[in-house]
Structure 1
Amino acid sequence: MKRGIVLGLLLLASLSASGSVLWGEPDTDLLWHHANDIQARESLPEELTLLTRDVSIRISEDSVRKRVRDVWFYPDTADAHDYGTDSVTFNRHSQSLTIHTAASIDRYGELRQMQADTLRVTNVQEDNIFTDSRKAVLTIPGIGAGSVTLLDYELVEDRTVLEMPWMETWYTQMFLPVERFGLSVTWNGSEAPVWSNSSDTVSCQQGANELTCEGRDLPPVEWEEGMLVADTLDQLVIATPMSWQDVANRALTEFTRAGDDVTGASAVLAQLAPPDATASEGMSRVHDFVARDIRYVSLSEYGNTITPHTVAEVLESRYGDCKDKSALLTYLLTELGYEPYPVLVATDRRDPEQLRVPAMGYFDHMVICRDLPDGIACMDATDAYTDATTTPAWIQGRVALPLRPGAEPMVIPGDEYRWTLDVNTELTFHSNGGQSEQQVRSYQGAYAGTLRSVLDGKTSRERHEWAEKQYAAVVSDVVTPEFDFDQVSTLAPRLTVSSRVDYPPFLETDVDLDYFEYDAWLQAELESVYPANRLYESEFAGLRVTSRFDVDLGDLWALRDVPPELDFRHRFGSLSRKVERVGGNRFRVTSVLDVPRQAIPPRKQPELRKLLELMAREAKLAFTGKLR
């Protein structure tokens, strides 16, 4: 995907080009061929286009040699500005990179080649990634409207130093047109790789020691917010033959090396879970310690791509990455009598059917899970905001591989209601036409963890400023309430935001009361989850809001009519409203919004949106009072 390759690269810290990047003898014949072809066309592509991608891979017992030739056409200067910088990702310990050609030919036929001293190598700063990668940033000179560029490079991988068997994935679709894609794979002896092609526009043929694939005029994929690229784009996957159990066993063997040295663990455990602590208290304290007191540092350097550091090393340094923290948490919980097991996670995938060949390369994160009578629960030791009893929101519904017998790709279960909120509002009318309002919002489970990640790093003043802006956007910008926060800095199942405010007189006090009040937080939650997809299936994460209004009309008006009750049910969800008088001049309205987690196909998106809009309109609470 050209889009996204460049964005953000120049924000990374640049390093000098190292000896791991070599320069070969340039060959511009392919570039001239395509430049002449473009000049001869009656009509040119109107958008940035990959004219050809040629990939040749040679697999031997000790190495994998890959040669890639990409030729791009830039129709205008905007594309040149936005995408004129390319890059190649490589592993500095297992791969050597050779740049053969990085050159352009402009519309006037002038050839310009990139010079070696303009190459920059950057760190790849991505959390939870099982690699030790670098990016060679290539700024090809002379690109403008009508230019054609060639990037020709070679990667040689040393298979003898890999912690997991070799795997290669090529996306044969992009977000821009591809005129030709070609792939040739050859191998020595009897070690034929396994492969899978999900594309209808790319055809492949396998011989005795060769696989060839080709596709032409591959249409671009339309981007849509929330789509998962790895589940959506056509792709070719080639890998060393393994079973899923082989992958799990290999990863588990490396994972258990963390237990080779557990010095210091007993003392930590004695502090966290003394004899008088209950089992649940011990689990929570151990989880909180690993999640919050062991800071996250990416440590996927050579030798630790999938192998964690020992328990002793992590306790001594007080930092680690996802596998280090997971190994420590697993050891401590096991000592407490629990039976956790490590689980690999593909954070960019929801569909296990798209893992077409067994391989480690799909997975970029690790968590630990444990079996419950009604399913499984997972802890993310890198999540410093979600409590021990809740599976964090960002891994719910993601594809995973448990490292234990019978290993097969699965989906981490999602909460039926990921966004769960209880709101209690007390509204008191005053004889001068003003009001007093007290509200308590209680966010639960994954919602509490998500909100905690927003608030925990803020100062008291910053939290109040955040709450003031939120209240002004949702309820009213006429007043500024006082706020209290509870369980922001503690990993608890709930997080509470309370507010108190007096509204100045705004009602006429010499006439009967004809009033309505919006159930503002229920309405806001509905509006926040409106589906936007048109092309792809989306996952509705599940929304449950329980809202209670206690209204006191005070001494000026006598309560006459209360809001109507409501019991609206739809196959997507329901909204109910119960109303009860709790005194001569007081009443209570309890509303329950219930839209559970579900997959919504594109054709049903408009129907779901209309339902949510209808429910939002029904959040209006109207009532009347007789002037005394």
Structure 2
Amino acid sequence: MRRGLLAVPVALLALHAGGGPAEAARIPTWARGIVEESARAPHPDPYWNWRILFRESTVSVAEDGTVRTTRREVRQILDASIDEDAARVFFDSRTKIERLRAWHVPPERRRARRARGRDAIDVATGESFLSDDATRVLPVENLEKGSLVLIEAETTARRWALTWLIPVGASVPTLRERVVFEVPAGFTLISEWLRLDGPEPERSGGRHVWELVDLPGLRPEQLAPSHAERLPLLAVAVLAGNARIEPATFSTWKELGAWASRLVAEQQAEREALAAWQPDAPEPPAAVEELARRVRDRVRYVSVELGKNGWRPRPVAETLATSWGDCKDKAALLGALLDERGIRSWPVAVNLSERNAVPSRVPVIGAFDHMIVAVAAEGLGLDESRFGGALGDGGPLGPLLFFDPTDVYVPLGSLSSMLIGKRALVLAGDASRLVTLPGDDPRWHVREATLDGVMTGDGALAISWSGRYRGEPARIEWRTLRGSSRQQREDLERFWREIWPRAGSIEYEGDMDERTGMFVESASVTVRPPVLGEWQDLPLLPVPGWWLPHPRIGSRRRVGVAFGYPRTLRLRATWRGLDERWVLPAEVSRTIDGARARTSARRRDDGVVEVETEIVLERRTFAVDELRTLRRFLSTCRSVEGVSASRPAQPNTPGSSSPSDE
């Protein structure tokens, strides 16, 4: 499902620049003052090897709906390691590149060098199998520390819709950025900021100008949102009033949803071939599960985004005949199959790539890049314990069961971490509405494991392990196992040998249980006794490190922590053969806002040692002002994850050696 076509095709002009006077006649008028002032620009943090001094995007809408976009940019090289780059402008079959020019202003030289236009090349872009998205690349060479690069690009386009979602700033510092929209008389403009309390535009007639200064760069951090998710976004929609133009215009999400619903419904009309795909299961939810599984597994995912087909699916009969399709093709097919069974459903547009990318008021097509399905859940008799992770509130549409027919690792009843908690648009005609996808709760992303251990008289250990995982943990394990069962076994084997270095090879089995929606695994291993002496510290219930990552949280960190999904880790161990000389660990617990951890151990009357551990992350994200508390919590988690029993060392007798575990 296309996003790039419908968002502003921002020229990612991967260029860099520096200071020093230039001969004004050789560079465009708009850049002369910036070049002259560049030597006086504040010196940046040495961490950055380039920065943006100035960037401006001007979008001019004509009375017939044609859009002219002009982009200007000045970047500064701050490190000698960067000696070449390229200007890039994105386009598609409905976009014409009017101009792409670049100048290199070397440091301490008056003459600028203009990049040769004949060196520009066009290359295909995007991850789709078939797409008309492309990029024109204009190389800029012989850059030095202190170089300035000036870019000017202009395009005209016949857009499908007059909506934009514009990222502001960049991964590097931006000293000044300006966004300009120009609309004809009788046209109106609505806008909304996301991820930033941005300024209101300065208005003069049909001209709207937003200007921001000193936008910080984005340093990479462990378990931080991606750079794309941290950039501010400006959502803009232009309304044509009474004018009749080709591009679609929307003032509300309901209008956008009705437009997109028609595109899908048109392709669901021919249904003669659907009967052969109907399962024998007479009643829901068995019929819903079987149809969802068939569309997910039998229709190969192949993305085709040519022109308007970035939003319009292929006819469902064609998808059936070819057994391939992308997200919108699969959603349309599953919806038609369910409708034939008398089960209501609707396509759902969502942003799979980023969070906080869907405005609340301004309808923008480019906010979405994926399509899933919402099934009317009322009357289906769904067991909440099985399907609750994908059950959400559809308002007047009633309870909805959401399903992604493109994700082969997620059964009906769960949603992946890339979807949970996101704002999405249910395409239900005039009843279309924004909803929040379910599953953003630790109850639906669970790892439950049991360890049974026995210590024999000679100190050898026999250990068996069983695990049941739901939600994102199940998806992770199932994806790893399907990719390489050997890798799955070796990862667990490597972890156990870090805990018990004399562990042998493990016996391992794992599989996804579609009936319960859980991934189930079991393993067993034998650990040889210590070479010399006896055990003195025995890990009782180790927790694999990938179950709960521990990011580095330093005092200079300026971005919060994002764990990806809330989760519950619940483990239980029983140990036999540990005599009274073994000292069990004291109970450890800590609770903070949004998380808790606890472990305890006890000896039963029959001598069996029981250990229980639970770690719960109730939310995915922790803000910067919570990091100190989070760091203390994760320190407690390390103690919980490595709980051990100990036995006091015995006095050495002449000729004996100290116990050792090699």
Compute the TM-score of the two structures, normalised by the length of structure 1: 0.83
Q: State the one-letter code of the partner of 2:80.
A: T
User: SS of the counterpart of 1:316?
Assistant: helix
1:274 is matched with which residue: 266, 273, 280? Answer: 280
- Counterpart residue number, 1:443: 469
Decide whether the 8 Å contact of 2:60 with 2:182 is kept in 1.
yes
- Counterpart residue number, 1:123: 124
User: SS of the counterpart of 2:483?
Assistant: coil
Q: Post-superposition shift, 1:313?
A: 0.9
Decide whether the 8 Å contact of 1:181 with 1:214 is kept in 2.
yes
Tell me, in whole angstroms, the C-alpha distance in 1 between the residues paired with 2:546 and 2:604.
27
- Counterpart residue number, 2:59: 57
After TM superposition, list the pairs within 5 Å mapping 1:197-216 onto structure 2. Answer: 204-216=201-213
After TM superposition, list the pairs within 5 Å mapping 1:226-245 onto structure 2. Answer: 226-227=224-225, 229=227, 232-241=230-239, 242-245=251-254
- Counterpart residue number, 1:549: 573
- Counterpart residue number, 2:99: 99
C-alpha change, 1:476 and 1:318, in structure 2 (3 Å) is: farther
Decide whether the 8 Å contact of 1:173 with 1:221 is kept in 2.
no
Sequence identity percentage: 19
Larger mean CA deviation between 406-415 and 60-69 belongs to 406-415
Q: Post-superposition shift, 1:330?
A: 1.8
1:342 is matched with which residue: 342, 347, 371? Answer: 347
Structure 2, gaps ≥5 residues long: 1-7, 15-24, 240-250, 379-390, 393-399, 651-662
Decide whether the 8 Å contact of 2:481 with 2:488 is kept in 1.
yes
- Counterpart residue number, 2:153: 153
C-alpha change, 1:435 and 1:537, in structure 2 (3 Å) is: closer
After TM superposition, list the pairs within 5 Å mapping 1:477-556 onto structure 2. Answer: 477-488=501-512, 493-506=517-530, 515-521=537-543, 525-528=547-550, 534-540=557-563, 541-553=565-577
Answering whether residue 99 of structure 2 is matched by residue 74 of structure 1, we say no
1:422 is matched with which residue: 448, 452, 474? Answer: 448
Larger mean CA deviation between 416-425 and 32-41 belongs to 32-41
Q: Post-superposition shift, 1:499?
A: 1.9
User: SS of the counterpart of 1:259?
Assistant: coil
C-alpha change, 1:430 and 1:184, in structure 2 (3 Å) is: closer
Tell me, in whole angstroms, the C-alpha distance in 2 between the residues paired with 1:64 and 1:4.
15
- Counterpart residue number, 1:322: 327
1:584 is matched with which residue: 590, 600, 606? Answer: 606
C-alpha change, 1:481 and 1:338, in structure 2 (3 Å) is: farther
Tell me, in whole angstroms, the C-alpha distance in 2 between the residues paired with 1:590 and 1:133.
54
- Counterpart residue number, 1:15: none
Q: Post-superposition shift, 1:604?
A: 1.4
C-alpha change, 1:261 and 1:73, in structure 2 (3 Å) is: same
User: SS of the counterpart of 1:487?
Assistant: strand
Q: Deviation digits for residues 45-88 of structure 1, max 9, x if unmatched?
A: 6752323223332212230111112122223322445xx22311
Larger mean CA deviation between 257-266 and 120-129 belongs to 120-129
- Counterpart residue number, 2:639: 617
If each structure's strand is expressed as a fraction of its own residues, which one has the higher value? 1
- Counterpart residue number, 1:22: none
Q: State the one-letter code of the partner of 1:378.
A: F
2:423 is matched with which residue: 395, 399, 403? Answer: 399
Q: Deviation digits for residues 585-610 of structure 1, max 9, x if unmatched?
A: 43333333333235433211221231
1:175 is matched with which residue: 162, 168, 171? Answer: 171
Q: State the one-letter code of the partner of 1:50.
A: I
C-alpha change, 1:325 and 1:116, in structure 2 (3 Å) is: same
Decide whether the 8 Å contact of 1:248 with 1:401 is kept in 2.
yes
User: SS of the counterpart of 1:617?
Assistant: helix
Tell me, in whole angstroms, the C-alpha distance in 2 between the residues paired with 1:574 and 1:184.
48
Q: Post-superposition shift, 1:90?
A: 1.3
2:438 is matched with which residue: 405, 413, 416? Answer: 413
Larger mean CA deviation between 313-322 and 132-141 belongs to 132-141
Decide whether the 8 Å contact of 1:423 with 1:546 is kept in 2.
yes
C-alpha change, 1:589 and 1:565, in structure 2 (3 Å) is: same
Q: Post-superposition shift, 1:413?
A: 1.9
- Counterpart residue number, 1:192: 188
Q: Post-superposition shift, 1:136?
A: 1.5
Larger mean CA deviation between 317-326 and 112-121 belongs to 112-121
Q: How many correspondences in the alignment?
A: 591
User: SS of the counterpart of 1:253?
Assistant: helix
Q: Post-superposition shift, 1:406?
A: 4.7
Q: State the one-letter code of the partner of 2:614.
A: V
Q: State the one-letter code of the partner of 2:280.
A: P
User: SS of the counterpart of 1:548?
Assistant: strand
Larger mean CA deviation between 520-529 and 282-291 belongs to 520-529
C-alpha change, 1:252 and 1:128, in structure 2 (3 Å) is: farther
Decide whether the 8 Å contact of 1:455 with 1:488 is kept in 2.
no
Q: Post-superposition shift, 1:612?
A: 2.8
